[in-house]
Amino acid sequence: MSNVSYHISNLLEKMTSTDKDFRFMATNDLMLELQKDSIKLDEDSERKVVSMLLKLLEDKNGEVQNLAVKCLAPLVNKVKEYQVETMVDALCSNMMSDKEQLRDISSMGLKTVIAELPPSSSGLTLTASVCKKITTQLIGAMGKQEDVSVQLEALDILSDMLGRLSGVLVSFHSSLLSSLLPQLTSPRMAVRKRSILALGHLVPCCSPALFSQLTEHLLVELAKGPPTSMTRTYIQCLATISRQGGHRVGGHLDKLIPMVVKFTSVEDDELREYCFQAFEAFIRRCPKEMSPHVATVIQLCLKFMTFDPNYNYDNNEEDEEDSMDTEDGLDQESDDEYSDDDDMSWKVRRSSVKCLEALIATRRDLLLSFYSSVCPALLARFKEREENVRADIFAAFVTLLRQTRPPSSHHGLAVASSDHGASREEEPAVAMLKKQVPMVVKVLHRQLKEKSIRSRQGCFCLLTELAHTVPGSLEQHVPALIPGIIFSLTDKSSSSTMRIDALSFLHVLLLSHPPQAFQSHMQVLVPPVAGCVDDSFYKITSEALLVTQQLVRVMRPLEHNATAGDFDPKPFVKQVFSGTLKRLKATDIDQEVKERAISCMGHMVFHLGDHLGAELQDVLVIFLERLKNEITRLTAVRTITLISATPFKIDLSSILSEALSVLGSFLRKNQRTLKLGTLACLTALVTHHAASIKPAALEPVLAELPALVDEGDMHVSQVSVTLLTWMAKACPSSLAKIGSSVLPGVFRLVHSPLLQGGALAAILEFLKALVLSKTSNLGYSQLLEGLTGPFHCSQSHQSHQADGLAIHRQSYHSVARCVAALSSACPKETPGMVAGLVQEVKSPGSPDSARVLALLCLGEVGRSSSLGGSKEVQGVILEAFNSSSEEVKMAASCALGSMAVGSLNDYLPFLLKEISTQPRRQYLLLHSLKEVISACPVSSLLPHVESIWALLFQNCQCQEEGTRNLVAECLGKLTLVNAAQLLPRLKQQLNAGSPLARSTVVTAVKFTIVDQSAPIDALLKDCIGDFLKTLQDEDISVRRVALVMFNSAAHNKPSLIRGLLATVLPHLYKETQIRKDLIREVEMGPFKHTVDDGLDVRKAAFECMYTLLDSCLDGLDVLQFLDHVEEGLKDHYDIRMLTFLMLARLASLCPSAVLQRLDRLVEPLKATCTTKVKAGSVKQEFEKQEELRRSAMRAVAALLAVPEVERSPSMADFANQIRASADMASIYQSVQGGEGGSFGPTESMDTS
């Protein structure tokens, strides 16, 4: 310690030297010392250092002063609180000094101290006391009207402090407001502007009452009709507090809007600009509250976006000469009094266009009205003369285009492809856009040849967006656009970004339009693009190679639906090939260029391989080299995959064996994309070039495959098995040794509970190919043995279960499918196998596992090859219905259904008769019937529909819920067979029958909603409203199933219910409320237990709400939605878990709405996180509460990720509470880790 003190006192002594260099060096050394974490100062040293630094702030030398200021930063956290207060006092009094230099350096010092103060959330009192000290002094300084520079400094520091530490100054908010408001009337513009900034920082954290006081003050002042310069200040202040205060302005809009509208009619350009900026802030922050005023604002924007009083736009070319004359006349008159530099009208036009853009971005629901009113007006303004304004007009139009695209959902592309209803719903806007396309091109094609680079970039950006929004819409206009593209590519004055933008647009255009549209323009397109491939700037080369790749496709399109017509690519091949080859050979270029050159050349070989002649072999050798290079290997793998499938049979034998050995080594690499790419490449090579491959060449590949066939990665397994299938078909001799290597892995996969879908289908194909190839020593019986072996163990199924080695139910079905596949490949073996299976089921010594498998195998074999004639099989299955084992009974049920699919006429009448006459077996027989309806082709089912329908309706009022659900599923799937006739009949049943029958019908509708598009969709859309009326049914169980059906529709086919949300949501929200009349007390011995019969319905309603967030967000009033989420946060355990999830989702989807309700949402979250379970509770209670707290904490973490959340005092408080409690902080940290949050609580929780 003494060493440090001694060193510091030495430095302090040097600081008193008369030599400025000594003082400078000593101060610099002190700063370095203070920056060390290890330094600890004793009290005496602290006092000396602080007083010396304050003295140095008044040093004659400016450099010494600046260093002294820098020393203050590390010092703040190294000295005691009262020393910081001493510093602050001295700095504040110096700031009001008469000496300008001292004033400036002191205000810099204060800003430095403020920036270093620890955020209040870390719980230190230092920040609070220092801020209060500074604030008191600053409020005094602001009152010094005589010295403007002091005022300016004070306002500047105050803005800094409010921006960073506003939460600490809550007690001063009121006095700060009363000091700042008078500054708005200051004669100095700079003072007014800084006061507005300070008010902007004050607004987010101040109380609602204070916010209202500020707004009322502005309204009162504006109502007095002050001079224009003052009005500007007040309107500017309004815009700032709207931007910063966000949703709070919503309550005052009814008074504010008329006032701002009134001022747009004042002849002052700057004031109008501020008015539109205020409108924009209102629209972005309170879109819902602005609804009544939208029409007014649009009208004003459309009026003022054309406001250009000093310029005459003339469209009629024949009148052009006359207009020029009048303009000359005008110029002569006004020359002396008006110059173009004084023209501020462009600011009005720009702010009104930005306001329109905000409207388009926030109100997707008004899209159609925008197309009829705003779109033509924007198009008409593309001729705007001012470049800045034109850029904003383009930006607004691009926003309109983006809003026209179908809303992307949580399900991503799956929705785009499966939910055709969604795209159909978008059609009105898209249709209106398509009508405008000719006009867009007409206006833009002139501008594409303008000198202004910014304008051309705007045009390309807009056209790119248009091509994305309505692919194919520019096909007719390609001739008009090509000259503009070529101009930007060849114009010497074009910047590199300009050429990149032009190439990028050309790429999008080529991708989104048919090749025939460009073939007649190849003469002009190829030379400039080839020139860009040779460009010295790598980004241009890279973009040009992408375009070249598409041009090659245009020269000779090979897609299924494309026709090359009479176009001859020969004249262009050399020009395109030589430039690409040069880039392909170069090794000292950017990686992106290397990759794109490989890919481009690959497409050239694929499309034009027969035109390349002797050059082709050189190219293949380069591909092989690139395959061996770690940086380019993935692109090379994809390219070889492409060229091996070219229709022009090219000879790959020169590189084939070496390529196979390199590809084999890639299968060992721990890079999944490379593995998948390599497997696809090998499959393509084996498929198309089997004749050139020697069996030995495939050995390195086969050696790597066993490790890849594993349940750990089903997709890699599937692709590996597909490769094996092609080997079995094309190079069967290579699979001689497969029995000991890959096959055990394939069998393990078949027995895996995870096997399904594509991977299972691949294995079925493989087994068929393998048994037909007859090369391996594994024939039909060995494969059968390998598949069914584990099920015939001497141990019984039960002892398996006891050892924890139970075979999963899914494995039985997988093996049965495989056995059926083998049987279909070897029909001669089928009768013997069927006899064996029948024997297996009959034999009393067979374990249950073997019986279950034998029944399922019989079913699957019967499905593919009719076993209808065999009475023995039928008898065996019926006998199995009487088994004591539930699993055997279910297997018999599946088998009967599968056989009925294979021979419908033999089995279906028998099945229906059994359902009617055997009530004890009814459930199992209905399972069989469900299998028949699900799997049979429509044509064979149609004759039997009436008899099945009648039978199902006899059973739709069954008391047993499981049976009713099965009947409903059968009804729903049967309706899909002939929707036009059966759906109306289903609808009629709603009016007849008991609540049980109604709930069965509504559940049946759920099964008609499938996630792929189906013919029933259009019919369902028309009548789903009638089925949803059951949400008002008096029976609670009917309402519950109606909610489940609604949830299914919202999840799988949102387009069905989007139009009905307005009528359905009130009933949905009604079901989220706790109903006292459904809560009853049940006596259980000495205890009373509360039962809530409404819980299931509420749960179903909240599940619907969660689904709607994903699929129909644009149809929800989020604030109303949040009211019900808020109620759910206080409900039962299950519902709270759901609402926490919803809250986290809402925080990312609609942060502004969540911020509006934040104060009300924080309380239930806080209550959940701080609740403790009573001591002595059971273990489950503790686990439940722990899970609830974790879930609540996830919602808190999502809220803390919202950018402006720290402005809410209640949220900042809760964040401090979490940090202060070790228990809550650890939960928060674990949740952050689990979510992959990169911030620890320390950084992300500093929320004050």
Distance between CA atoms of 1138 and 900, rounded to whole angstroms? 43
637 pLDDT band, cuts 50/70/90, is very high
pLDDT in the model for residue 396: 92
| Ramachandran angles phi, psi of 1092, nearest 5° | -110, 105
CA atoms within 13 A on the CB side of 818: 31
The packing angle between helices 848-864 and 871-880, to 10°, is 140
Sequence-distant (≥ 6) Cβ neighbours of residue 113 within 8 angstroms: 72, 73, 76, 84, 87, 88, 91, 130
| 3 state DSSP class of 1080 | strand
Q: What is the pLDDT of residues 808-820, one digit of tens each?
A: 778 888 888 888 8
β-pair partners for 1080: 1091
pLDDT at 743: 80
Lowest mean pLDDT: which of 349-363, 652-666, 1071-1085? 1071-1085
* Spatial distance between the Cα atoms of 35 and 77, rounded to a whole number of angstroms: 10
% of the chain exceeding 70 in pLDDT: 89
Determine the 3-state secondary structure of 1239 from DSSP.
Answer: coil
Q: In this prediction, what percent of the chain has a pLDDT beyond 90?
A: 5
**Once rounded to an integer, what is the mean pLDDT over residues 1116-1136?**
85
Q: What is the mean pLDDT of residues 1153-1182?
A: 80
| Cα–Cα distance measured from residue 668 to residue 652, given in angstroms and rounded to the nearest whole number | 24
Among 111-125, 237-251, 645-659, 1053-1067, which is the least confidently predicted range? 111-125
- Which of 530, 543, 401, 394 has the alpha carbon at shortest distance from 457? 394
CA distance 1071 to 1064: 11
The confidence score (pLDDT) of residue 222 equals 84
Q: What is the pLDDT of residues 884-899, one digit of tens each?
A: 778 888 888 888 888 8
Residue 739 DSSP symbol: G
Residue 355 pLDDT greater than 90, yes or no: yes
Distance, CA of 783 to chain centre: 46
Top mean-pLDDT range of 504-513, 814-823, 1016-1025, 1204-1213:
504-513
Give yes or no for a contact between 511 and 561, defined as CB atoms under 8 angstroms apart.
Answer: no
What residues contact 412, with CB distance under 8 A and at least 6 apart?
A: none
List of long-range contacts for 494-497, beta carbons under 8 Å, 24+ apart: 494/453, 495/453, 496/537, 496/539, 496/540, 497/457
Residue (of 981, 982, 924) closest to 953 by Cα position? 982
Residue 656 · residue 685 · CB < 8 Å: yes
Task: Determine which of 719-733, 774-788, 1172-1186 has the lowest per-residue pLDDT on average.
Answer: 774-788
pLDDT higher than 60, residue 261: yes
**Sequence-ordered alpha helix ranges (H) in 516-631:** 516-519, 522-533, 538-555, 570-585, 591-608, 615-628
| Residue 313, φ and ψ in degrees, nearest 5 | -80, 130
Question: What is the distance between the alpha carbons of residues 639 and 663, in angstroms, rounded to a whole number?
Answer: 13
Name the average pLDDT for the chain.
Answer: 79
Quote the pLDDT of residue 337: 45
pLDDT band at 639 (very low <50, low <70, confident <90, very high): very high
Which pLDDT tens digit goes with each residue over 1041-1089?
Answer: 889 888 988 888 888 888 888 888 888 888 888 877 777 777 777 777 7
The confidence score (pLDDT) of residue 69 equals 81
Higher per-residue confidence, 849 vs 637: 637
Side-chain half-sphere of 41: how many Cα atoms within 13 Å?
24
Span 767-795, average pLDDT: 71
d(CA 823, CA 850) in angstroms, rounded, equals: 18
User: 274-303 burial string, b = 16+ CB within 10 Å, else e?
Assistant: bbbbbbbbbbbbbbbbbeebbeebbebbbe
